[in-house]
Amino acid sequence: MSAESPKNVILLPQTNQLLSLYTIIRNKETQRSDFVFYSDRIIRLLVEEGLNQLPVEPKTVSTPTGEVFEGVKFLGKICGVSIIRAGESMEQGLRDCCRSVRLGKILIQRDEETALPKLYYEKLPEDIASRYVFLLDPMLATGGSAIMATEVLLSRGVKPERIFFLNLISNPEGISNYHKKFPDIKIVTGAVDRGLNESKHIVTGLGDFGDRYYCI
């Protein structure tokens, strides 16, 4: 992707370190243990960038040297909502950055008759409407599942500007589909691939993320 990302798409800096991590997880020869380890490193970077997007207010503290430090603190509480099952792989990265963070889950699967996404399960914090929400799903393909999950969040009172959609790999079609519905929601991604193939899989891609992360 060019240096000029679409509006409300935050692309991680394409450093040599990040590209080396993606080279490992995209490689079909990479063993599961390495796939998990290096995916977790990217997830941590995505969470850190998501946290960078949250609002702060000034806070002054005294240091052990007797000096005063003019710093900041986050405004409001956050929670993570994973789209089962692949999105659950991103929960630990959020926990690593945010102690005692609340988590919710949404299960969306394709209806065999209509081929459309269908909501099967949701479990969300009762106070989610007052929180900033990190929506977690490693791959943004067509955007169907993410759109439905976001509609669930909105129905529970979460404001669009409080939602941040974190994913490892996206593509222009998925971004466009998602932002047609939710133009004000920020997507935080590590890579924008060239598109979808005839099977609606991301290319270049890395295969089925959930299978590679969870299956031996």
CB under 8 Å to 161, separation ≥6 — which residues?
A: 184, 185
- In the annotation, is 189 catalytic? no
- In the annotation, is 193 catalytic? no
The model's pLDDT over 123-160, given as tens digits with 9 standing for 90+, comes to 999 999 999 999 999 999 999 999 999 999 999 999 99
Tell me what the mean pLDDT of segment 56-71 comes to.
97
CB under 8 Å to 33, separation ≥6 — which residues?
A: none
- For the chain, first and last CA: distance in Å? 33
- In the annotation, is 85 catalytic? no
pLDDT confidence of residue 111: 72
The pTM of this model reads 0.93
- In the annotation, is 40 catalytic? no
Catalytic residue among 23, 32, 110, 194: 110
Tell me what the mean pLDDT of segment 62-85 comes to.
96
| Cα–Cα distance for residue pair 6/180, rounded to 1 Å | 12
- When pLDDT is cut at 50, 70 and 90, the band that residue 115 belongs to is low
At the topology level, CATH places domain 9-214 in: Rossmann fold (3.40.50)
Catalytic residue among 34, 111, 127, 211: 211
**In the predicted structure, residue 24 carries a pLDDT above the cut 60:** yes
Mean pLDDT value across the chain: 94
